Amino acid sequence: MIKIVNLHARIGDKEILKGLNLTVKAGEVHAIMGPNGAGKSTLASVLAGREDYEVTEGSVEFEGKDLLDMATDVRAKEGIFLAFQYPVEIPGVSTTNFLKTAVNEVRTHQGKDPLDAVSFLGTMKEKMKIVNIDQSLLSRSLNEGFSGGEKKRNEIFQMAMLDPKLCILDETDSGLDIDALRIVANGVNTLRSKNNAFIIVTHYQRLLDYIIPDFVHVLYNGQIVKSGTKELALELEEKGYDFIKNEVNAVKL
């Protein structure tokens, strides 16, 4: 589904990704773990198309197309979804109105008919159940005054509405209590299928108790330095990131 080769990216003068390689196939869930500052969120932002980052080298192929060549909205229309670590609050825009615009722009791009008000509402009702989100929340201004848990549930709800191929979750577990974490993870598990794929960026192993990954990668200093299965996450939890750092630095020496 996505093939990232030798990806280098920087913000300003600071190089953050330094030759990252990753391939994700349909039906897979990949967890990206790593210490603070390793480049985890940068990877998520670069894939989604945040303009602050400049890709200096490497390629990203998404469903056979050059992802880096696409505008932010086109990436989303082609099936990339980023669940934000810090969802933006937008006063004056209700989730419902904004999502209707988004869903219909995406559908039009994919050659489908736009949804009318009735079918949109029907789809909404159905998807709301996935993350147990309330209608009244969705008619309020987008994320404004939402609790941390409500914001993250809203992200997963939007994911369900847009039905993407590749979902990138950027530290979705940060700031969530255990109940909210369960709801969010449960939502993700419901949406998992053999046709889509997930990249789950997280600092802690905790989320991976609920969303079981097929692969776990450790990102350190702008590169993936170690890959394994879910046991690697447990090992990291036990030993901390220092063991990876030591390992990498030992190789360098």
| Nearest distance from C-beta of residue 44 to another protein, angstroms | 10
Q: Does 54 bind another protein (CB under 8 A)?
A: no
* Binding flags for another protein, 22-41, as an x/- string (CB under 8 A): --------------------
Q: Does 65 bind another protein (CB under 8 A)?
A: no
| Nearest distance from C-beta of residue 16 to another protein, angstroms | 17
Strands (E) located in the chain: 2-11, 14-24, 29-33, 53-62, 65-66, 80-83, 90-94, 141-142, 166-170, 197-202, 215-220, 223-228
Give every CB contact of residue 141 below 8 A, 6+ residues apart in sequence: 89, 90, 91, 92, 93, 94
Stretch that binds another protein, among 8-16, 21-29, 67-75, 229-237 (CB under 8 A): 67-75
Nearer to another protein, 135 or 229 (CB): 135
For 19-44, give the DSSP string: EEEEEE-TT-EEEEE--TTSSHHHHH
Phi-psi region of 215 (alpha: psi -120 to 50; beta: other; left: phi over 0): beta
List 12, 14, 64, 92, residue binding another protein (CB under 8 A): 92
List 53, 62, 84, 220, residue binding another protein (CB under 8 A): 84
- Where do contacts with another protein occur on this chain (CB under 8 A)? 48-51, 71-73, 75-77, 81-82, 84, 87-88, 90-93, 97-103, 105-106, 109, 117, 141, 158, 162
